[in-house]
Each structure stands twice: as C-alpha cells, then as structure tokens.
Structure 1
Amino acid sequence: MPAIPRPEVLVLDVNETLSDLEPLRARFETAGLPGHSLDEWFAATLRDGFALTAAGSYGNFRTIGGDVLRSMLVSAGLDAEEATIGGVLSGFTELGLHPDVAPGLQRLHDQGLRLVTLTNGAAAMSERMFTEASVLPLLEHRLDVEAPGRWKPHPAAYQYAAEVCGVEVDRMALVAVHPWDIDGARRAGLQGFHLDRRATPYPEAFLAPDLQVPDLTALAEAVQTMLSH
C-alpha cells in the first residue's frame, strides 16, 4: 500500500463518529416508538437535509429532525406535540463519546495535528459532551453547516472548514463513520479516513477511503506511522 501523506488538519464528523447515539433509543421508546425507530429517523433526517441541499436550499438539523419525528409519531397514532418532540431531540445534548474518542483525540493532538469538528447538526449541541470528556481544549474549531448553508457531502461544507482553518483542502482529512461523508470529502479534495466502527462492507459506489481503521485509537497509531516515513 502506498504511503499516505500526513494531513495538517483532521476534520472530524460528530454524530456517530464521535458521539454514541445509542442512548437516544430510550427516548424514542418513551415517546411510544420502538427503539429501532432511531435508525429510521436518523436516515430520514439526513435524506431531507441532503434533498434541500441538492435543491440549492437549506434547513437546520433541529427543524428537519423535528418534522421527521412528528410524521413518525402521527403515523403511529402517538402524541406529536412539541413537548414530545423536544423530549426526544434534547437527548442530543446529553450524549457521550465512544470510549476510544478521548484517548484517540489526545494522541492525535500530541502528534501535532490540528483538530476541528464539522457536523450537519448544531455545533452547540456537543459542547457539554466534549467538556465532560475533557477534550474541548483539543478542538481548534467546532463547526457546523449553517454558515455555508449546505449539508455535507456538498463541497461547500468542506471548503468552509478549510477557509476557517486557513489551509487548502488537500491539507485536510475528514474522519467519519459514514461512507457518503468520506466520498463527499474526497471529491472536494480532502483525504478520507473511514472509521469502520460496525465492520460493515464499504459501498462500491463511493470513492474508497484513503485509510480505514476501526476507531480513533487505531487512527492515532496510523498517523504515527505516517510520521515515521
């Protein structure tokens, strides 16, 4: 395998890549939906965000996610009042990090990489999570897609991160669990580092990642190898 150039900036996706969404299942159940509805809801929220971006428009994650959840609740004959929707979605502010994230970010930071986050959600939702894990000081910027007005994987989202960091896109690598995000970043000129947390086949339709590892600890080890070459 050819040597991979070491990036200057790691752009980290947040939802599922850093944060563990599993606790949200209990909130869906409290609202009367089965726990597996979380997966349907998350996929549909991404679908609608992508659709607006493809149409040249924009909607924020909370509004789109709320609309999707309302439709799911109504379809199931359940209470779809704002208090119920808010009770589910407020769980995003109470999520924790995957166990490998804090030590992995510390190692990457110690190796001299600049770390930023870029999410299709709201950057503010993750502040408590990062603070409690003592990783907030490691993050140079915490970005979301409101400013560019385009959801990832639109190239404008990644270009926005590059502009904020003051580097060219080819000096950055996106770290994400989602193949669609890796594909979008690569097409925008970034490297793509895939965290294969679920050990599932990578889709052939997408551009392959430059690097595939199971978690952030393994990513830190791979970056250390880049330094030694």
Structure 2
Amino acid sequence: MTIQKSKPVIIFDVNETLLDMSPLKKSINTLLGNEQGFRIWFGMLLLYSTVSNSINEYHDFGTIAAATLAMAATSMNKKVNEDEIKEALSTILTLQAYPDVEKGLKFLKDHGFRLVTLTNSPPQALKQQLLNSNLTDYFEQALSIDSLKKYKPEAETYLWAAKKLAATPQEMLMIAAHGWDIAGASHAGLSTGFIAREGQSLYTLSNKPNFQANDILAMAQLLVAFYSE
C-alpha cells in the first residue's frame, strides 16, 4: 500500500497493544490449571467473536469471553463455576499500561497527531480500563465496536470508525499488537503499524504492516520522524 505523507489519525487497539495483559493471563491460567490456558481461551474468544459476525448474532465481548472461558474449561476437563469465571475475567478492568505507552502517546500528541482507540471491548469496560491506566486524556475519542455490533477484524468496523472520525481509511493508521487486527485494518484500506509485543506475531498471508516497532514509544518516534520528512 502506498502511504500518504500527511499526518494520519492514529487508531490504537487497547488490550495487549497498550495494556499489559500479564495479570489476566495469570488469572486465566490459574483458573484452568494450565500454562497454555490463556492462549487457548483467547483464541476461542477471537474465533467466536468472528462467528458472531458471521451469524449476525451479537453478544458483547465480555459475554463471549465468559462463554468461551467455560468452553475452554470443558475442553480441558476442568470444572469451574460462573463466579470463578467472573472473578478471573474481572482482572481485565484493572490492567495497567506498559511502561512505554504514556511516553509514546505524549510524544505523538506533542507532535500534532490525533489519537483514538478502537477496541472490541464494550464501552463501560473500555472507559474503566482507560481510567485505571491513566490514558483517558490522550484520546480524542474512545471507540468501541459495541455501537456497530461488528467485531474487528471485520472491514466494516474500520470503515465505521473512519466515518465517526470524519476521515477516509487512507487518512488512518491502525496500531495493534495482533496480526489479525493488522490484517483486518489493511484489508479495509488503512495504513498499519505492528507492535511486536512478546509472544505476538504477524499473519504472514496478509499485507505487511507499513511500520513495525517493539513498543509504543519506539513506534511514536518512527512515526514522528516519517511524517516530519
């Protein structure tokens, strides 16, 4: 994709891109009694959110998270109850930002970039996450797919965000630590930037990201340099 040189509206994924999910991983692994529990469950969560898109039967991300956690427990022959599931998942509301995030967001704002979130999490959860991690003031809008009821990486989701921001897809840049999010945004016509968090990888059968860095501060420095040329 040919990238334009005017400053884009930067759209951030939230979980794992900005927020450190280590406490949630520990909580899920403990509940399921398996070191791969989180990875198995999160894969199921993403799968069944896309199933929700396909069958046009929307449930918010928290509801699907609870249902798929119960499914993961069943598949691993682990007995868990609703209260245990609720307690394990509640950790997601108290996640903190990675150390690089605030510095990177401030650097981008200081250089005149518009910053927005776009997440699969429902609005109240997103609001709580941004408050707890002290990130609220960096974003002009905190967008959740809940308004549209279509999960990323559905192309319609990114195009909906473009309309909300009065921008074209070509005027937007999606920053995410997930290969599936990068693939979806690129397919919808956005430029993309991949954050190579530990354990994350790109989907090699889709378009390569326009930018790649190990953290948000490094990405911010890369973007400021590129768009200042």
1-structure distance, mates of 2:122, 2:8: 25
Q: Deviations over 1:39-82 (max 9, x none)?
A: 11111100111122133442221111111111223344544322
TM superposition score normalised by structure 2? 0.90
2-structure distance, mates of 1:3, 1:9: 13
Q: Deviations over 1:3-52 (max 9, x none)?
A: 76344311100111111111113322543522430111111100111122
Corresponding letter in the other structure for 1:68: T
- Counterpart residue number, 2:169: 169
2-structure distance, mates of 1:46, 1:200: 15
- Counterpart residue number, 2:137: 137
- Counterpart residue number, 1:191: 191
Q: Deviations over 1:116-173 (max 9, x none)?
A: 1111122322434433443211111111111112111111111121111111111111
1:184–1:147 distance in 2 versus 1, CA, 3 Å: same
- 1:91 shift after superposition: 0.8
Q: Deviations over 1:167-186 (max 9, x none)?
A: 11111110001111111111
2-structure distance, mates of 1:199, 1:25: 12
2-structure distance, mates of 1:133, 1:76: 33
Corresponding letter in the other structure for 2:168: E
Does 1:100 find its partner at 2:104? no
State the secondary structure of the residue aligned to 2:22. Answer: coil
Does 1:9 find its partner at 2:2? no
State the secondary structure of the residue aligned to 2:141. Answer: strand
Please tell me whether the aligned partners of residues 11 and 115 of structure 1 are also in contact (alpha carbons under 8 angstroms).
yes
Please tell me whether the aligned partners of residues 153 and 180 of structure 1 are also in contact (alpha carbons under 8 angstroms).
yes
1:122–1:5 distance in 2 versus 1, CA, 3 Å: same
Please tell me whether the aligned partners of residues 169 and 189 of structure 1 are also in contact (alpha carbons under 8 angstroms).
yes
1:102–1:123 distance in 2 versus 1, CA, 3 Å: farther
- 1:200 shift after superposition: 5.9
Which has the higher mean CA deviation after the structures are superposed, 118-127 or 182-191?
118-127
1:7–1:152 distance in 2 versus 1, CA, 3 Å: farther
TM superposition score normalised by structure 1? 0.90
- Counterpart residue number, 1:226: 226
Please tell me whether the aligned partners of residues 29 and 35 of structure 2 are also in contact (alpha carbons under 8 angstroms).
yes
**Which ranges in structure 1 are unaligned for 5 or more consecutive residues?**
none
**Which ranges in structure 2 are unaligned for 5 or more consecutive residues?**
none
2-structure distance, mates of 1:174, 1:28: 28
1-structure distance, mates of 2:83, 2:3: 52
- Counterpart residue number, 2:86: 86
- Counterpart residue number, 2:118: 118
- Sequence identity percentage: 29
Corresponding letter in the other structure for 2:175: V
- Counterpart residue number, 2:49: 49
Q: How many residues align?
A: 228
Which has the higher mean CA deviation after the structures are superposed, 108-117 or 120-129?
120-129
Aligned-residue CA RMSD in angstroms? 2.1
1:163–1:201 distance in 2 versus 1, CA, 3 Å: closer
Please tell me whether the aligned partners of residues 3 and 191 of structure 2 are also in contact (alpha carbons under 8 angstroms).
no
1-structure distance, mates of 2:201, 2:138: 31
Corresponding letter in the other structure for 2:160: Y
Corresponding letter in the other structure for 1:102: E
1-structure distance, mates of 2:77, 2:182: 38
